[in-house]
Homo-oligomer: A and B are copies of this chain.
Amino acid sequence: MAKQHIKLTDLARQLGLSVSTVSKALSDSNEISYQTKKRVLELSKALNYRPNTLAKNLKQSRTNTIGVIIPDLLNYYFVKALNSIQESAEKQGYSIMTCITNESLDNEVRYIEMLTNGSVDGLVVALSIETQKKKKFDHFKQLIDNEFPLVLFDRVSDEINCSQIISNDASGGAQAAHQLYIAECRNPLLVVVNSDLEVIKRREEGFTRKWYQLSSGSSVIRLEVLDLDDSEKEISDFLYNNNKIDGAFAVDERLGIKTLKCAIDIGRNVPENFKIIAASNGELSKEYAPSLSVIDLQENKIGSSAAEEVVRLIKSNVLKPKTTIIAPKFLLRQSS
């Protein structure tokens, strides 16, 4: 149990001043004489006075805190985004309060209720898988009705009318197709996981469409994996049985690593006769040998844009939603 803090009353009493004078002196108001300011400041330092944030926030009805709701902390993508949200928020004078939904809709609803009861000034959210699957967005619509500053990033939905930060996943897919093509891959495999997610759909679509263009109408072989952790046998078998496949685009980094590993396992030479590219850039693809070429989704930019946008909304009177699209960048490494 924490001891009592020094409060304004204490300072006031000891100085023989009123609370409001002390308050003004501490906020360097020009109503107060230099002399008393000095006295107040000295005592407050001596006693290590620190204003109670709760009371201040209640009074000013703002918290200088941004709520961040993300689906999964063990996903490097979200961690990178969270990191830059926190960095950018801090630069703008805001703290963050983080909740993890573990991909559950119920948690998402609960956290949003919790955070929007005065705890935060605005919200940055990436939807859970369950939310995207079930398309239940009432908890967000209510926020919008209340004009609560809300920014979605990455896992977004058209049905929610708010500011959104997304990466141009279709372009990412297209870049992958292009890069495989110019590396002289001719029969690529599209490896997919979590196809419920909008981002995944867009990557697939971008890849498939671009490939169709490049290869004058030939379509793409597709392999969907249900359980990423348990996918290696499936991928190996598939590659083994489809000898003409000479490359792959994986819609997710870990899936890319799995595919790379499997290709090498069954004797393909990477990158000589098998090229591979994955979406999303993390430690794994960088450190792996051979290192994995990726579509870098620029999580840093996504995170900082989200934080900037939510602050913009907080500070503006009319919520004018704005969609920001971040261009992904191809990163050539050894696997392609």
Q: Which residues of A are interface residues toward B (Cβ below 8 A)? A: 1-3, 5, 48, 50-55, 57-58, 63, 65, 73-74, 76, 79-80, 82-83, 86-87, 95-100, 113-114, 116-119, 142, 145-149, 254, 257-258, 261, 264-265, 283-284, 287-289, 314, 316-317, 319
Contacts and interface: CB of A to CB of B under 8 A. Distances in A.
Given A118-B53, A284-B287, A98 B98 contact: yes
A100 B83 contact: yes
A95 B114 contact: yes
B1 A55 contact: no
B73 A86 contact: yes
Number of copies: 2
Contacts of A86: 73, 98-100
Contacts of A142: 48
Contacts of A65: 97
B98 A96 contact: yes
A79 to B, nearest CB: 6
10 contacts: A1-B149, A1-B316, A48-B142, A53-B117, A54-B119, A65-B97, A86-B99, A96-B98, A261-B289, A265-B289
Contact of A117 (B52, B79, B83): B52
A62 to B, nearest CB: 10
A115 to B, nearest CB: 8
Nearest to A264: B289
A48 B48 CA distance: 41
Contact of A79 (B73, B87, B264): B73
A169 to B, nearest CB: 23
User: Would you list the 3 A-B pairs with minimal beta carbon distance, nearest first?
Assistant: A54-B118, A52-B118, A73-B83
Given A96-B98, A147-B3, A289-B264, A51 B82 contact: no
